[in-house]
Amino acid sequence: MVHGLSRNGRDYDVLAEALSDRYYVVCPDMVGRGLSDWLPDGFEYTYDQYMNDLTALIARLDVTEVSWLGSSMGGLLGMIMASLPNTPIKKLIVNDIGPFITGDALEKIRSYVGLMPTFPTFDTGLTFVRQIYAPFGQLTNAQWQHMAEHSLVQSSDGTFRLHYDPRVAAFKTDQQDVNLWLCWFGVQCPTLVLRGVESIIFPRDVYDQMASSPLATCREIAGAGHAPALMSAVEIALVRDWLSGL
């Protein structure tokens, strides 16, 4: 399970626990996030770096096949890897991301991911987390608490900050669209495509085009934008039932 641009592997605690009776689940912190190291230069945070890291991780796991679930950035990485020859990905779940992203959408992401506010208390940080990640959906108070505990880290002066390197947003957009349609149509494994109904990053027309693939099962999640947290019973059942039904 591969998280989004400014997130970390603990986002999947609830889903991973729900699937752990049947699957061996791995939820890494990508470099620059959570407990992973930061890179010396912000412009080293590239998809080439992430793909190298994830390829090494799969090799270290000593497995020949994986089911891949990726949210946002993690979904794009999954599409890229699944389109390659001899890919280890045999089942792919893409959470609220498509192969075409407008420059405007990228700029919106960059505008908040590059922030590094400090919070005098955990509770003020929790309020910020609830506001900025509100599109994740209808989380319970306990789930927001859990998310904040792993989204914030305490500094030596007692204040709190977000638990990632703000330089992960150092990519340049210049209003350039991202077009990975060739990767998407190169995916040759069963794929579950999830979309938050209110998503502004994953537009409905891109979702509809992805649905034209005979290997794709497409489902929308009400009450969520970018990107569904996959913590609710309905979301977990959707993922679990699709995986077990193949």
- 132 in any annotated domain: yes
- 3 in any annotated domain: no
- 39 in any annotated domain: yes
- 156 in any annotated domain: yes
CATH of the domain at 103: 3.40.50.1820
Among candidates 130, 124, 159, which has minimal Cα distance to 143?
Answer: 130
Q: What's the average pLDDT block by block, 10 residues per block, for the chain (246 residues)?
A: 97 98 97 97 94 97 96 97 97 98 84 86 98 96 98 97 92 72 96 97 96 96 97 97 88
Domain that holds residue 238: 9-244
pLDDT at site 124:
98
pLDDT at site 113:
82
- 2 in any annotated domain: no
- 25 in any annotated domain: yes
The string of pLDDT tens digits covering residues 92-114 is 999 999 999 998 888 888 777 87
The continuous run of DSSP H or E covering 13 comes out as: helix 13-19
- 106 in any annotated domain: yes
pLDDT at site 109:
80
Total number of domains in the chain: 1
- 4 in any annotated domain: no
